[in-house]
């Protein structure tokens, strides 16, 4: 499995596909979630700035099997935002997610980001384990529907200035 830094043709669609398929099957998210991922990821890719932002892709045999993003666009105000962390069913549980998260966290450390945060929800136990293993702490829980279905949203934070 190769970890590639940066955009590749087709990655926006593939990342949206991975998210849509996994979350439809596991928690019942639908078109609102897929559209949110696709539109926000597209917007990120258009404004992605080398050295401030990062997009890592896990690739095997020319196919994208995972992704993670660090959006540093607002790092001075709110911290770097970890987003769109996903692995395919074929590689889930084989350590690729840990490699992706490790690459993203190494980037944040190199850039000197003092705070990294992410939004998730309480049904993603394996991902939460990885976040906590890398030092993230649960900072807030609230009911919300930003993904198109009401869930217990969770804010995880690494570093200073927790809310």
CATH number of the domain located at residue range(s) 2-114 in this protein = 3.40.630.30
Angle at 47 between CA 85 and CA 103, to 5 degrees: 35
pLDDT value at residue 163: 42
Give the residue extent of every domain in the chain: 2-114
pLDDT value at residue 12: 98
pLDDT value at residue 29: 93
pLDDT value at residue 145: 81
pLDDT value at residue 47: 96
Cα dist from 70 to 29, 78, 111, whole Å: 23, 13, 11
pLDDT value at residue 162: 44
pLDDT value at residue 81: 97
Cα–Cα dist 133/113, whole Å: 18
Give the pLDDT means over successive 10-residue stretches in the chain (163 positions).
96 98 93 96 97 97 97 92 97 94 96 94 84 94 84 90 45
Please count the CA atoms within 13 angstroms of the CA of 139 that sit on its side-chain side: 18
């Amino acid at each position: 499995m190769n970890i590639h830094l940066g955009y590749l043709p087709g990655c926006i669609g593939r990342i949206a596909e991975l998210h849509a398929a996994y979350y439809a099957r596991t928690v019942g998210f639908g078109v609102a979630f897929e559209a949110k991922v696709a539109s926000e990821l597209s917007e990120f890719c258009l404004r992605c700035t080398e050295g401030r932002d990062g997009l890592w892709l896990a690739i095997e045999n020319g196919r994208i099997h995972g992704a993670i993003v660090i959006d540093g666009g607002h790092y001075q105000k709110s911290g770097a935002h970890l987003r769109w962390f996903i692995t395919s069913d074929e590689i889930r549980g084989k350590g690729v997610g840990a490699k992706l998260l490790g690459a993203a966290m190494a980037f944040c450390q190199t850039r000197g980001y003092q705070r990294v945060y992410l939004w998730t929800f309480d049904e993603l136990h394996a991902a939460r384990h990885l976040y906590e293993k890398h030092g993230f702490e649960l900072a807030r829980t609230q009911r919300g529907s930003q993904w198109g279905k009401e869930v217990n949203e969770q804010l995880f934070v690494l570093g200073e200035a927790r809310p």
